[in-house]
């Protein structure tokens, strides 16, 4: 029998078994290995300041997560410990190599890519940009393209010249000739292979086509995408915050990647310094036809855990369709046919296994791939996560509907924490129990063998990710809590009175003031087709609308759920936030009992989607922040990969046309990335929600945490308002604000004497400096701040506009509210106040420009948030007394602004008048809630 050699350079030891070699390597080369890794620190994605001595202190044999990390189920093996010096995995370090797999010396620069391709197969930039614009961005039909090209040709013929293309066929041919992003679609057929009765149903004779593209080719293209550079992790790491506490954010910060990397190395030490590629799959049926709803597809998507969550969420081509599963159809008489249902489940798993079969070899033997930074690396594939809603999870896990696909909790008592499911556990039960007992007592469908049993290290029960969209936002909130409130009102008040209350709740929702992040509901909740965005928007304004109509405990239950949901949706989670999440879930479970005692849920809360909350803290530690692996990512991909291509087809045998459209789109995107990399095109992030934003004067390559770059930066709009007086006195008269001159001069006195013994309130108006320069008025200001949990640029920067205009979309004036920082040393609302912006303007004095705002003040009342809604309450601050009392108005510097804020009316016990308009809300009510649910950043700031 051949002996195994030690893999450490220069060591001649040989061994009879792999276990002996592993023991030798850990014993003899432990510190050498660490020293070598620290030498290539330039490749580490986190904590470049770690020292050799620090790295050597890390316990590589650690078998458990930190003791302060509680979670349901068994402890995952080899989870990283929160040691400040341990920033990345000690074995699968992602060391660069050459194209032959030989590791490179530290500091070796990557080879230049082949750049002498020009614009081929296009003749010039004009041809490519036109094809990219017409096909990818404008989605113009072939007939319209021909018409446009004909007009272009007629125009060019006047100068004896030609247009860029003769017709659409020539343009399509150029796109098809692109080598970038080429992953051809293939097809295989499957059908029923069992015995057939003489009168067997038609579905047993049918052949079902499954279209797919090679996932290994797709992964190769994802790794070779230079657009992902600096947003790509080559090794699992332990994320730490400034206090040295463990944090979880991107996928590679989770315990799962660390655990699997250790397992890979333990099984084969020759994988030392390789890169793990966690493969993230996702699938979900989607309907594309309008009205009839009879055309549906079942796409499969692939992404990799190496790319950062911000890239995956920003539609930067990091989520790729790799297959379309067959959807067997049958006659109505076969709807309850057990054999047909069994066949569909088996076809589903067999198709997935076939589609992913090309990855099997790469899960044990490293493949050499070029990476976004230009280096080659030895890469090991790993089926790591699967994004799916609950019905799809049931299909994937082979469990019975109503059971949890992750744990063995009984369907009638799902809130009880039970052991985790696993392939081994299911197999052992199947060996000793009959199918009926498996079904009834363990929720296992014996007819299903999950596709993951055929892949190394893969277990579908471990792979299932948290699903914020379907489990929390659309599931628990919209389908459960909102529905239960309506049922409670009907039980408590009768159908007629309940409808009157619901109408007033709808009126309250419609009366919420405008805010950039708040979607308006002009008719309240009365629309039939809800989207995930609708549910998210309703979450932001729902609590004040129901307060006073339902018991306090019911409002508290919904508030607790919203807090848990907002914490789970953060881009970065640390030990404190996960503990807060678990505490909030416990509070939700306690408060929701009101729905049981009131008769709405007399049977309790054994609901799989609500039960999923008990797994979220554990899954965040396994996979990183849930927002990076949520089904909202695949749902949004449906639009670009399925719905739009279907609409571009002629509806006849549309799938083939859709696949061709997807292939062309992938080629154009990949070509654009390459042309940008070569400097032939300027960067364009037209697919991202917002452009990359940095504070004025900051370098895009600045080092340090992004949240250090900007907490809140508010500047006036670029263009001033026209046709307004430029002198202060004339402006005061124009806006009917008599005190504007006095307030501005007192503001200027305070600015010029920031540390003086007196303030502007201690002096007379004559002692204040006079403003003589021209006044510039602006209709908005722009706040820029770091908010990666919200829709933002790829570096987490978010831009928000604070409006102050007398004319807004023919609806009257719009005066937004903002947060002003009064005491930086006090936390949350204790150090801030809310103001309403009445005027945005600037002026010069002694060569200094003062951007400022005329504002109305709101002050908090009470020393803590409202006990019912959990939100702070504010009232307008009054000046004067008696009949002369008016809202306090002052001028403040714009630098004191932190960002915008949304105020929600405290509606009180009386219904709103008919036809009440939302534009009056900020004047009509005496008290307001400070809306911490307006967005994720507000939820973190306003406490």
Q: What is the per-residue pLDDT across 27-70, written as a single tens digit (0 to 9) for each?
A: 444 333 322 222 222 233 333 233 222 322 323 333 333 333 33
* Residue 679: per-residue pLDDT: 82
Contact 600, 487 (CB under 8 A): yes
Task: Quote the crossing angle between the two packed helices 575-591 and 552-568, to the nearest 10°.
Answer: 150
CA neighbor of 771 nearest in space, from 793, 751, 797, 795? 751
* Residue 12: per-residue pLDDT: 56
Say how far apart CA 305 and CA 232 lie, in whole Å: 9
Tokens of 566: 């907002």
Q: Give the count of alpha carbons within 13 A of 516, CB side only.
A: 21
Contact 805, 921 (CB under 8 A): no
Q: What is the DSSP letter of 303?
A: E
Q: Which helix (H) or strand (E) holds 53?
A: helix 52-56
| Alpha-carbon Rg for the chain in angstroms | 31
* Residue 16: per-residue pLDDT: 53
Regarding pTM above 0.95, the answer is no
Tokens of 492: 């408590």
* Residue 293: per-residue pLDDT: 54
Given a cut of 50, the residues of the chain with pLDDT beneath it are: 1, 9-10, 23-86, 685-710
Greatest alpha-carbon pair distance for the chain in Å reads 106
Contact 736, 853 (CB under 8 A): no
If 0-12 CB within 10 Å is exposed, 13-18 middle and 19+ buried, where does residue 899 land?
Answer: buried
Say how far apart CA 580 and CA 792 lie, in whole Å: 25
């Amino acid at each position: 029998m051949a002996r195994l050699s030690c893999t450490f350079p220069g060591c001649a030891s040989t061994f009879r078994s792999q276990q002996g070699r592993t023991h030798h390597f850990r014993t003899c080369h432990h510190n050498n290995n660490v020293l070598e890794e620290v030498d290539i620190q330039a490749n580490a994605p986190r904590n470049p300041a770690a020292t050799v001595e620090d790295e050597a202190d890390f316990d590589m044999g650690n078998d458990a997560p930190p003791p302060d990390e509680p979670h349901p189920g068994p402890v995952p093996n080899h989870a990283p410990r929160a040691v400040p010096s341990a920033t990345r995995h000690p074995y699968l370090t992602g060391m660069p190599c050459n194209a032959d797999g030989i590791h490179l010396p530290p500091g070796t620069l990557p080879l230049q890519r082949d750049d002498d391709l020009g614009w081929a197969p296009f003749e010039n930039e004009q041809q490519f940009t036109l094809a990219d614009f017409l096909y990818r961005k404008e989605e113009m039909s072939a007939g319209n393209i021909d018409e446009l090209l004909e007009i272009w040709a007629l125009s060019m013929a006047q100068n004896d010249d030609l247009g860029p293309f003769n017709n659409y066929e020539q343009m399509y041919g150029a796109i098809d000739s692109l080598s970038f992003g080429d992953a051809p679609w293939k097809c295989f057929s499957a059908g029923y292979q069992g015995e057939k009765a003489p009168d067997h149903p038609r579905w047993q004779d049918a052949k079902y086509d499954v279209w797919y593209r090679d996932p290994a080719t797709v992964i190769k293209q994802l790794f070779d995408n230079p657009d992902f550079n600096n947003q790509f992790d080559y090794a699992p790491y332990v994320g730490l915050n400034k206090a040295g506490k463990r944090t979880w954010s991107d996928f590679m910060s989770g315990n799962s990647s660390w655990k699997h990397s250790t397992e890979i190395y333990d099984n084969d030490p020759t994988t030392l310094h390789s890169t793990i590629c966690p493969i993230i799959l996702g699938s979900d049926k989607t309907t594309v036809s309008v009205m009839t709803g009879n055309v549906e597809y079942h796409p499969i998507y692939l992404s990799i855990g190496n790319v950062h969550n911000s890239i995956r969420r920003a539609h930067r081509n990091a989520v790729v369709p790799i297959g379309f599963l067959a959807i067997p159809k049958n006659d109505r008489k076969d709807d309850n046919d057990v054999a047909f249902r069994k066949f569909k489940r088996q076809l589903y798993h067999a198709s997935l296994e076939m589609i992913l079969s090309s990855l099997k070899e790469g899960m044990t033997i490293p493949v050499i791939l070029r990476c976004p930074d230009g280096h080659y690396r030895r890469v090991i594939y790993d089926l790591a996560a699967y994004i799916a809603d609950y019905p799809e999870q049931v299909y994937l896990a082979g469990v019975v509907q109503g059971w949890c696909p992750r744990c063995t909790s009984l369907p009638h008592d799902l809130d009880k924490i039970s052991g985790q499911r696993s392939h081994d556990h299911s197999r052992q039960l199947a060996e000793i129990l009959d199918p009926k007992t498996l079904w009834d007592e363990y929720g296992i469908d014996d007819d299903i063998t999950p596709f993951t049993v055929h892949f190394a290290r893969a277990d579908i029960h471990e792979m299932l990710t948290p699903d914020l969209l379907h489990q929390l936002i659309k599931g628990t909130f919209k389908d459960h809590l909102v529905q239960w409130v309506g049922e409670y009102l009907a039980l408590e008040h009768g159908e007629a009175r309940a409808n009157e209350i619901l109408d007033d709740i709808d009126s309250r929702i419609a009366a919420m003031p405008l805010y950039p992040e708040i979607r308006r509901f002009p008719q309240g909740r009365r629309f039939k087709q809800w989207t995930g965005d609708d549910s998210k928007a309703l979450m932001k304004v729902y609590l004040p609308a129901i307060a006073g109509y339902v018991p306090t405990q019911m409002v508290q239950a919904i508030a607790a759920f919203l807090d848990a949901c907002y914490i789970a949706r953060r881009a970065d989670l640390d030990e404190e936030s996960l503990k807060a999440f678990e505490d909030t879930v416990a509070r939700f479970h306690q408060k929701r009992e009101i729905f049981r005692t009131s008769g709405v849920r007399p049977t309790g809360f054994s609901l799989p989607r609500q039960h999923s909350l008990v797994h979220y803290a554990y899954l965040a530690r396994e996979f990183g922040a849930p927002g990076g692996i949520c089904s909202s990512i695949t749902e949004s991909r449906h639009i670009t990969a399925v719905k739009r291509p279907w609409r571009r087809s002629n509806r006849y045998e549309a799938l083939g046309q859709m696949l061709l459209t997807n292939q062309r789109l992938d080629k154009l995107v990949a070509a654009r990335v390459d042309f940008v990399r070569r400097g032939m095109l300027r960067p364009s992030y037209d697919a991202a929600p917002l452009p990359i934003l940095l504070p004025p004067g900051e370098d895009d390559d600045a080092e340090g945490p992004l949240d250090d770059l900007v907490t809140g930066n508010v500047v006036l709009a670029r263009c001033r308002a026209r046709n307004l007086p430029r002198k202060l006195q004339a402006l005061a008269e124009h806006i009917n604000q008599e005190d504007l001159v006095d307030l501005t001069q007192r503001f200027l006195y305070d600015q010029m004497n920031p540390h003086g013994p007196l303030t502007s309130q201690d002096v007379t108006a004559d002692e204040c400096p006079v403003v003589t320069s021209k006044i510039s008025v602006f209709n908005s200001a722009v706040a820029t701040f770091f908010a990666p949990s919200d829709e933002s640029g790829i570096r987490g920067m978010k831009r928000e506009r604070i409006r102050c205009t007398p004319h807004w979309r023919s609806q009257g004036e719009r005066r937004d509210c903002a947060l002003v920082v009064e005491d930086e040393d006090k936390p949350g609302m204790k150090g801030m106040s809310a103001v309403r912006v009445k005027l945005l303007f600037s002026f010069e004095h002694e060569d200094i420009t003062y951007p400022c705002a005329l504002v109305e003040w709101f002050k908090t009342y009470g020393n803590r948030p409202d006990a019912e809604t959990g939100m702070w309450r504010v009232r307008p601050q009054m000046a004067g007394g008696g009949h002369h009392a008016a809202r306090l108005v002052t001028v403040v510097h714009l630098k004191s602004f932190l960002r915008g804020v949304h105020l929600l009316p405290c509606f009180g016990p009386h219904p709103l008048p008919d036809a009440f308009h939302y534009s009056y809300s900020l004047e009509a009510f005496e008290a307001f809630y400070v809306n911490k649910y307006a967005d994720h950043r507000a939820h973190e700031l306003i406490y």
